Amino acid sequence: MKIKKFVELNQVTKRYDNLTAVDKLSFSVDEGDIFGFLGPNGSGKSTTIRMMLSLVRPTSGVISMFGYDIRTHRQQVLSNIGALIERPDFYDYLPAKKNLEIFGTLSHTPNLNYRIDETLELVGLKDRAKSKVKTYSQGMKQRLGIAQALLHQPKMIILDEPANGLDPQGLKEMRELIKTINKDKKITILLSSHILSEIEEMANRMVIINKGASVAEGRVNDLLNENKMHVTFETGAIAKAIAHLQQTKWKNHLINHNSNTLTMNLQKEEIPEVTGLLIQKQIPVFAIKPVRSLENYFLKITRNA
């Protein structure tokens, strides 16, 4: 039987003495999702992930994965899930392939040599399979961690801050890899990240938690209402630009300004209209920058929660 909802958390709570780390948290992850898991530091994300991996027992509530209650069917759940939690740990003095052999043997992975070659090729490390891990860059170690999570052919993987410590090229490679795993390998992904632009670009659904509770859940586009955004115009004539805009239908769309930029709340279709007006009035426009909508939404909703 095909199970649409791979993950369901229902009123899950975790208390440590007088501290409530997770408070009646409920959300679901559908099969095929790249699901964004967002929240400020201390919001309960790591505790939630550890409960999903059966590393921490909930105080109350139910976690079901692949149709199984994790309390009563722990082995069935864990055999279908892979995880990369923070920075992966390896034997640095051993080659990448040997590290995967040790992990695969411990997890009783069938066709181990074939799976190692296949996963190393998928993450772009096949040519460095015999190199010692201590010679790897941080980005390569992160990709090796994903190879380890995929080795036993799980239905779903949990990636906790997979872009930690990566440079721009490493971020690009990680983004492309995650999309490939989801699309080509048909693997559902729960992606916890503080890099909001990565979630905005990759995830189709997300939940935002704050103080251990859910404050928003749904499709990314629906939550962000992408037609509305903050747009910053860089110009050398701020006073003149504001004076002209005050005479137009956009006078109430001005948000703030400084010595060389002004920010407006605009619909996407209005950006070229405002730009055209400024140019027509001989006001130079040096740059136009839409402010990331997820960043605004995230800050607004966590501050208000």
**In terms of Cα–Cα distance, which of 149, 13, 177 is closest to 80?**
149
**How far apart (Å, rounded) are the C-alpha atoms in residues 79 and 130?**
27
Fold of 228-304: Alpha-Beta Plaits (3.30.70)
User: What are 35-66's pLDDT values in tens digits?
Assistant: 999 988 889 999 999 999 999 999 999 999 99
Annotation: CATH topology of 5-218: Rossmann fold (3.40.50)
Distances (CA, A) of 239 to 36, 230, 259, 280: 41, 19, 9, 16
Residue 299 — pLDDT band, cuts 50, 70, 90?
A: confident
Q: Can you spell out the DSSP letters for 211-233?
A: TTEEEEEEEHHHHHTTTEEEEEE
CA angle 40, 44, 48 (to 5 degrees): 130
- Please state the rounded mean pLDDT for residues 241-256: 90
Within the chain, all domains assigned CATH 3.40.50.300 are found at 5-218
Distance CA 291, CA 89 (A): 36
pLDDT at 268: 78
Sequence ranges of the chain with CATH classification 3.30.70: 228-304
In 3D space, the residue among 271, 275, 273, 254 whose CA is nearest the CA of residue 263 turns out to be 254
User: CB of 63 within 8 A of CB of 12?
Assistant: yes
251: which DSSP letter? G
The 10s digit of each residue's pLDDT in 90-141 is 999 999 999 999 999 998 999 999 999 999 999 999 999 999 999 999 899 9
Distance CA 1, CA 18 (A): 42
Question: Rounded to whole angstroms, how far apart are CA atoms 195 and 209?
Answer: 15
Cα separation, 267 vs 293, whole angstroms: 12
- Mean pLDDT on 170-183: 93
Residues in the chain: 305
CB 264 within 8 A of CB 253: yes
Q: What is the reported pLDDT for 221?
A: 78
- The pLDDT, as a whole number, for residue 104 is 94
What local confidence, expressed as pLDDT, does residue 265 receive?
Answer: 84
State mean pLDDT over 3-24.
Answer: 92
3-state helix, strand, coil in the chain (%, to 5): 40, 30, 30
Q: How does residue 304 score in pLDDT terms, banded at 50, 70 and 90?
A: low
pLDDT at 237: 92
What is the DSSP code (8-state) at residue 58? -
Distances in Å between the alpha carbon of 224 and those of 95, 200, 219, 254, 290?
44, 9, 9, 20, 14
